[in-house]
A = this chain, B = another copy of it.
Amino acid sequence: MKKLNTSPLSGMQELLPTEQAVFDQLKQNISDVYHHYGFLNIETPIIERTDILLAKAGGDTEKQIYMVSKTAESADSADQALRFDHTVPLARYVVEHNNDLAFPFQVTQINRNFRGERAQRGRFREFYQCDADIVGREKLPIAYDAKVIACIYDALRTFNLPKMLIRISNRKVLAGFLAALELSDKTAEISNIIDHAEKVPVEKSAADLLALGLNQDQVDKITSFMFTSGSYAEVEAALSDILGPRMSAVAEGLAELKEVSDILEAKGTGNFTIDFMIIRGLDYYTGTVFETMLEDYREIGSIASGGRYENLASNFTDMKFPGVGGSIGLTRLFFVLREYDLINLATEKPVDYVVLPITTNEYETAFELADKLRAEGKSVDIDLSERKLSDKFNRAGKIADFAIVIGNDEVISQKFTAKNLQTGETVEL
């Protein structure tokens, strides 16, 4: 009989060991690729000062934050809360340690963040984000934007997902475009309409734009703009058609897009397209923005995204730290990939061998054999429980690929046979 409710709190991911092994492998894959790209790992505390976390807050952040307090009084009585992303702690870290860091600072954080969102299926309150950022001091060349995109894409490639598409835009193109249309004062509202255009009929977007007080020509130009996508040459031509003599307004943004596009092509980074529907919300991005999606599963939405921010730590310091970063929201992604059956949970068992000594007389031999296999990098469990062999085999089948029974014969012969727990086949070791 249970005495207390032992389910995890709602909104928390809690996996069985075999599921956890798959999750861990995906996390390790991401970490390996980031590491191969030269990103340095850091870990910031999960608990931060509230004034740091909320320095730039607004909107939902403040409502969703988890406040922390101790039951007893303590000397350190600062208001504390759980971090809700990696970017704010990174900004604090860069300011605090800037004299000890080598800029451009290529940094990764793969860890859990916390948001007290309203509970709903597929939304998590505690979730892994796998961030890769490059932070400069004073300036950071646009080439780094391409590097972050290529790295995130290569990390996702290890998942063996169906056709991925990277969609890239640049906030400066949008800003220049709206300036050319003399609509700069409506940037926030128009960005919001473009940001949601993918989920509604085009007539709805057009009506929303008209409702803002735009004339029909402006509405037509913006709807043409937001459906523009393709290679750099294609989108440049399309923009030129729309803007005509006012094309110079988007020159800076286009030059950045061209550089990112050229580098991704030189690097041979797979399937990417320039797509002006990509906005990335009303976030702090100032230049390049990107999202990644599965072409055949558009309804999943973006599985990794990021962009360029001109000033990472403006709330904490007068020093200037431009940066570019991207993130894979692994907890949500793992959940979605399981829903869509896009991930193979039954691939391999977490343990390679379970060794089954029949009596205590075979323990020494079992230990020796296990240590030998461990030295080869294998995961080896030894079942020392006093149960029937059939029960032991039953347990082994749940966690391991092979079982090795050790009786008196094996002790004498020092020859061992591994039984494949799926197929029943045996192999000599």
Contact = CB atoms under 8 A, between A and B. Distances in A.
Given A103-B385, A268-B367, 7 more contacts: A2-B317, A8-B48, A9-B76, A38-B399, A40-B399, A68-B82, A266-B367
Interface string A54-81: 0100000011111111111011101010
Contacts of A377: 36
A35 interface: yes
A378 interface: yes
B42 A74 contact: no
Given A9-B80, A41-B17, A112 B46 contact: yes
A147 interface: yes
Interface string A87-124: 00000110111001111101100001010101100000
8 contacts: A10-B76, A21-B41, A24-B41, A36-B377, A74-B116, A74-B118, A141-B385, A143-B363
Contacts of A71: 62-63, 65, 67, 116
Contact of A97 (B16, B103, B266): B16
Nearest to A315: B3
Contacts of A15: 42-43
Interface string A382-424: 1111100000001100111000000000000000000000000
Nearest to A259: B360
B318 A1 contact: yes
Contact of A47 (B9, B36, B49): B9
Given A1-B317, A38-B381, A317-B2, A12 B147 contact: no
A399 B36 contact: no
Among the interface residues A6, A75, A140, A380, which one has the most CB atoms of the partner chain B within 10 A?
A6
Interface of A: 1-17, 20-21, 24, 35-38, 40-49, 51-52, 55, 62-72, 74-76, 78, 80, 82, 92-93, 95-97, 100-104, 106-107, 112, 114, 116, 118-119, 125-126, 136, 139-141, 143-144, 147, 263, 266-268, 315-318, 350-351, 354, 360, 363-364, 367, 371, 374, 377-386, 394-395, 398-400
Given A141-B384, A315-B3, A364-B266, A114 B47 contact: yes
Contact of A52 (B4, B78, B143, B354): B4
A379 B32 CA distance: 9
A316 B380 contact: no
A75 B119 contact: yes
A173 to B, nearest CB: 22
A76 B126 CA distance: 14
A398 B75 contact: no
Among the interface residues A17, A41, A44, A363, which one has the most CB atoms of the partner chain B within 10 A?
A17
Contacts of A24: 41
A69 B51 CA distance: 17
